Amino acid sequence: MTLGTPSWPPPPQEALSGAQVRRLTRRATEAHGGGHLSALIGEFYSVVVAGAIAWLVVIGAVQALGIQTGGEWSQSRVDPGWLGLAVLVLGLGVILSLFARLGPMSIGAGHATWWLPMPADRAGLLRPRLVVITAVALLLGAAVGGAAGAALAGGADLGSALGLAMPAGALGSAVAALACVTGQIRLGAGRPRRVRPLVVAGDGLVVAGPVLVLLAALTGAGELDLLGALGPATVVLAAVTAGLVLWCAHGLERLSGQELRQRGAIGGHAAGSIQSLDTRELGRALSVPGLPRTRRRSAAFRWVKGPALALVTGDATLMLRNPRHLIQLGIGAAVALVPLVAGWPPGLAVVGYLIGGYLAALATGEGARLAEMSPVLDRSFPLEAVVVRRVRALWPLAVLSLWALVVAAAWGWVYGDPGGWLLMGLVAAPTFAAGVLRGAYRQPPDWSRPLLPGPFGPVPPGIVTAFSRGPDVVVICLIPLLVAVLATGPTAVMVFVQIGASAVALAIGCHVPAAPRSPHGPPRTEGN
Amino acid sequence: MPETPLVRTENLTVGYGADLSSRVCPPITVSVAPGEALAVIGANGTGKSTFLRALAGLLPPLAGAALTYGRPVDERAAWYRAYTAVLLDEDSYLPALTVREHLLLTARGHGVQGVSGLVTDLVEEFGLTDRQHAIPSALSSGQRRRLLLCSVFVRPRKLLLLDEPEQRLDAGMRERLGQRLVAERRAGGGVVMATHDPALVREAATRAVLLTEERVTVMSAEDGAAAIEAL
């Protein structure tokens, strides 16, 4: 045989099995790593410490003022059963939506390109993915189950409630995920119509969760006993989960290469979005194309009279034309309002406000995120870079001011002094706009440095710090408002302090870092 | 009095790294006056796109100087953005806006008058009339490229920086692009384009600069086209 001329077809003993190909790839990847897990842990540590410091500042201020934060679980206007049901509905919705879109067995685009043309058995290549999906589903389910258990316990008999709710929630979520994967492997391969109902059902459940609690609180719904049903449900779900895993494992060879490539592209897009903490980009990656491919007619944009209005119009159009963004604003408001309407302690109202507010803020920042990905977009109009950044803040600022007024009105209804709360909410709104802008324009992690081992493969150093850019400004610069909610109410002093903090947040969010300079060239002079 | 060149580089050294060892080609010294079109040619990996990114202000030079309109490149400045239309090798669009809306928004953002007719003519010239109400993700890759080309022609500019504008275009569209670029320089505009298309160089360029690992050679457009064919 001539050197360099392969025999064709290769003898079976020379071809690698799927498992061997997978192991070879993993070893080669690990050999090019070089980072240490301790670095990743260190990053987590610093972010957690920063968050803890912010929380301690709030608590310290509250204690220094010597005021009771008040509020007891016993004052809740929502029966724990309804709350537990809502958490389960929401959690199942998230998992159903996620896995219906990602499944089956999404492998990265690179793996699809290099693995699939090989004669290796597909089951050997994909089996670990099935294990990972099951594990992730179980972990997510455990979180959902834990949250539901905590809600059901309602502050009493937490241990027994968690003991029942966690396994039931975990297994229920795993079943939801595996049902999606199985459906696509065994039934829906190449037939998106069979997957779409699962996606719609998942989205519906996501919306239904918070709405359920709001309705239960507003209508004063009676007691709902869920604990008794959890034991039998756990047994049934465990059996269904085991059956689905086996059924999935036997269907792996049936997956077509085309399907794996398509899903791999979606998975890669989704993974990138998660790493950049971009829920909208994640939503787009996971969505069955939601935008109409053509419009009956194009808008004329006659009101656009210059570059600033052009930028704002682009940002507004991006948000208003995607129903997902509007739903996200609504869910954000629901998350912020539920603790208030349900009569929960102010601490939970604060957490709901922070989470709901940032969720809503993310819905307004797509223009900025696109511009960070494609720098030409920000450079296509005759505006200074710093002016572009300020203009990009206008649309989030407008939307989030309205959003904050809605939430603040609820504060006024619950805590009294509606005028003060409306003012406080209004002056606090810019912090969310600043946070979403800071998050949108943050530098991506440096993938060229030695990678660190992560739970889902190698990750670049600095990734945790990158995650925290945006939320950090929101948490820090909302401290005056948090203190007002927890202790003082919307006093004139707190309003002024919040105005100052919001101004600082906007300055940070609109900051444009200095341009990189030539390391060896002559000093560059400013243009005149 | 000689006219200020639109582009002038003096021993401009470019590369992706922190020191001169990461340079991708020898230092480049060229200039482009109004009414000129410079074709940047060379094999893959010789620094054509890197050179363009440096002129676009997206990459700091490792050494040397890059001037546009007689001033150091400063892509953050409004004057630079007002004068310079850039087309790089990336899909940049707003996913919810139609083809027509992209162009209307860009033109209105630059204060162009009579934009509706201008956009209608442009989408017709670039064969997008039937797709003008489609969003970018519903277009083929060639159509998306045409949309990006339209976006640089719908706005005012003194200088066009184009990275392989012929990419994904069919033969007819390449010819139309060539005619557009000829019209551009006849109107006093400047063009710097990285390209692998000898026909485009022959038709639209006034000079060419050949980048190799060893040397940088400025030559006539005809010689540039021949050099591409010999690569």
Give B30-67 pLDDT, tens digit per residue: 999 999 999 999 999 899 999 999 999 888 889 999 99
Chain A residue with minimal CA distance to B111? A306
Rounded Cα distance between A501 and B181, Å, is: 52
| pLDDT of B219 over the 90 cut | yes
Does any domain span residue B167? yes
**Interface A-B: count of C-beta contacts within 8 A:** 151
Task: Considering only CA atoms, give the Rg of chain A.
Answer: 26
Whether B2 is in a domain gets the answer no
Is residue A105 within 8 A of residue A260, CB to CB? The reply is yes
Nearest CB among B72, B78, B88 relative to A382 is that of: B78
The residue of chain B nearest to residue A528, with distances taken between CA atoms, is B71
Establish if B1 belongs to a structural domain.
Answer: no
Q: What is the pLDDT of residue A84?
A: 74
Confidence at residue A522, expressed as pLDDT on a 0 to 100 scale? 45
Give the pLDDT of residue A76: 64
Q: Which of B25, B22, B20 is nearest to B52 (CA)?
A: B25
Question: B82: domain range?
Answer: 7-230
Looking at CA atoms only, how far is residue B86 from chain A in angstroms? 7
Q: B145 in helix, strand or coil?
A: helix
**Element spanning A335, H or E:** helix A323-341
CATH number of the domain to which B209 belongs: 3.40.50.300
* ipTM of the modeled complex: 0.84
User: Which of B64, B72, B105 faces A301 most closely, judged by CB atoms?
Assistant: B105
Count CB atoms within 10 A of the CB of residue A405.
15
Give A318's contacts in chain B (Cβ within 8 Å).
Answer: 94-97
**Nearest CB partner across the interface for A374, out of B74, B92, B131:** B92
Among partner residues A293, A522, A524, which is closest to B135 by beta-carbon distance? A293
- Using CA coordinates, name the residue in chain A closest to B20: A520
Residue A342 near residue A210, CB atoms below 8 Å: no
Higher-confidence residue of A443 and B207: namely B207
> Residue B202: pLDDT above 70?
yes
Number of domains in chain B: 1
d(CA B14, CA A521): 11
Disruptive mutation site among B90, B92, B159 for chain A (greatest number of A CBs within 10 Å): B92
| Beta strand B71-72 pairing with B63-68 | antiparallel
Question: Chain A 382-441, CB below 8 Å of chain B: which residues?
Answer: 382-387
Give residue B107's pLDDT band: very low, low, confident or very high (50, 70, 90). very high
Q: Give residue B44's pLDDT.
A: 92
| pLDDT for the residue numbered A3 | 46
Q: Judge whether A241 and A171 are in contact, CB under 8 Å.
A: yes
Q: What is the pLDDT along chain A (528 residues), one digit of tens a residue?
A: 444 454 555 555 667 777 777 777 777 666 655 555 565 566 556 656 666 666 666 666 666 655 555 445 456 677 777 877 787 787 777 777 776 666 656 566 667 777 776 777 777 777 777 777 777 777 777 777 777 666 666 555 666 666 666 666 776 766 766 666 666 555 555 555 566 677 777 778 888 888 888 888 778 777 777 666 766 777 777 777 777 777 777 777 777 776 677 666 766 677 666 655 555 556 556 554 445 667 788 888 998 989 999 999 999 998 888 777 887 888 888 888 888 887 778 888 888 899 999 989 988 988 888 888 777 778 889 999 999 999 999 999 999 999 999 999 988 888 888 899 999 999 999 999 999 999 888 877 776 666 666 555 566 777 677 778 888 899 999 999 988 888 888 888 999 999 999 999 999 999 988 776 655 444 443 333
B130 C-beta neighbours (distance < 10 Å), count: 10
Which of A344, A337, A416 shows the shortest CA–CA distance to A75? A344
Cβ–Cβ gap A520/B20 under 8 Å: yes
Cβ neighbours of residue A382 closer than 8 Å, sequence gap 6 or more: A307, B78, B79, B81, B82, B110
Q: Which residues contact B160 (CB under 8 A, 6 or more apart)?
A: B85, B87, B152, B181, B184, B189, B190, B191, B192, B193
Going A217 to A218 to A220 to A225, the CA torsion angle's sign is: negative
B223 pLDDT tier (thresholds 50, 70, 90)? very high
Are A379 and B133 in contact (CB < 8 Å)? no
Long-range contacts of B168-176 (CB under 8 A, 24+ apart): B168/B141, B168/B142, B168/B144, B169/B142, B169/B145, B170/B142, B173/B126, B173/B127, B173/B142, B173/B146, B174/B199, B174/B200, B175/B199, B175/B203, B176/B125, B176/B126
pLDDT at B93: 84
Give the pLDDT of residue B229: 93
> Nearest residue on chain B to A524, judged by CA atoms?
B72
